Amino acid sequence: MAPFRSLLVHREAISIFVSRDIRGRYINSALGLWWAVIQPLALLALYTFVFSLVLSSRLGGSGSTTEFALYCFCGLLPWLAVSDALTRSSSVLIEQTPLIKKVVFPSEILPIHLVLSAIVVEIVGLAVFLVVVMIGGRFPGWSLLTLPVVMVLQFFFTAGVAWLLATLAIYLRDVRQVVGLGLTLWMFLTPIVYPASLVPARFQWLLDLNPMTAVVDAYRAALLDDRLPALAPLVVFAGVALVVFVSGHWVFMRSKPTFADLL
């Protein structure tokens, strides 16, 4: 229960850091929170052009470009939140060295506030996505109520990995570069720009081992297909998320006393 108590005890500090991070990244810029919409839309346009128009034969040639764009955007929403949080968490302790060297500062909230900040930005993109979908005449049903549960599990999983990466980066300064490469590979092993059905049977196990496969499928179930997410993969992901969350916190707290010396 230690990581859950940590979130509860430091909730006010986490809220302040999340607010400060969002203001620093978006509010003080010319376009403000619109950047939270522009980034996924730019990636959506690129992937739609390459995979739906240029490589349409490889995608089976079925479905309109609009359908593909919605399919792709729905998968990008959770992926961008996870990848942004993990990329920034891999260097957050190094960037906040003055705070780490203050013994009374709860450094475990640094990766957490980045994860929550990414989810807040994701919610902005999600709102835009829902507006676009409804303008197109498609209205999400009761299955949309499953999405908050999926996002909570997504938070647990991302927070646990963020704690692990932040800790590892203290000992190995190349972690950020490795994370960037790893996230690129991870993205294309996740059915975001292609349906899982196109993956050959002998490689399906890669998707089954990928936690983000269940997350992306759950988002599409709730937002596009008006169905409940597949129960078995979601239950497995819930177990993995909680194990990673608790393990990440345990590793971080065990290593925390050495941070000031190593920095």
Tokens 């990848």 label which residue? 83
| Contact in structure between 217 and 230 (CB atoms under 8 Å) | yes
Tokens 């003080």 label which residue? 28
Residue-level pLDDT at 110 = 92
| Contact in structure between 78 and 127 (CB atoms under 8 Å) | no
Question: Which whole number is the average pLDDT over 181-207?
Answer: 88
Residue-level pLDDT at 226 = 84
Cα–Cα distance for residue pair 174/72, rounded to 1 Å = 31
Amino acid 70 reads L
Residue-level pLDDT at 193 = 81
Residue-level pLDDT at 52 = 64
Q: What is the pLDDT of residues 74-113, one digit of tens each?
A: 888 999 999 999 999 998 988 888 888 776 788 899 999 9
Cα–Cα distance for residue pair 14/118, rounded to 1 Å = 13
Q: What is the pLDDT of residues 110-158, one digit of tens each?
A: 999 999 999 998 998 888 888 888 877 778 788 889 999 999 999 999 9
Residue-level pLDDT at 57 = 46
In sequence order, which ranges of 10-108 are alpha helices (DSSP H)?
11-22, 35-47, 65-95, 97-100
Question: Which whole number is the average pLDDT over 238-251?
Answer: 96
| Contact in structure between 174 and 168 (CB atoms under 8 Å) | no
* Window from 67-76, 217-226, 245-254 with minimum mean pLDDT: 67-76
| Contact in structure between 121 and 36 (CB atoms under 8 Å) | yes
> Residue 194 phi/psi, 5° resolution?
-150, 150
Residue-level pLDDT at 16 = 92
Residue-level pLDDT at 23 = 82
Residue-level pLDDT at 149 = 95
**Residue 253, SS3 per DSSP:** helix
Q: Taking the model in full, what pTM does it have?
A: 0.89
> Residue 219 phi/psi, 5° resolution?
-65, -45
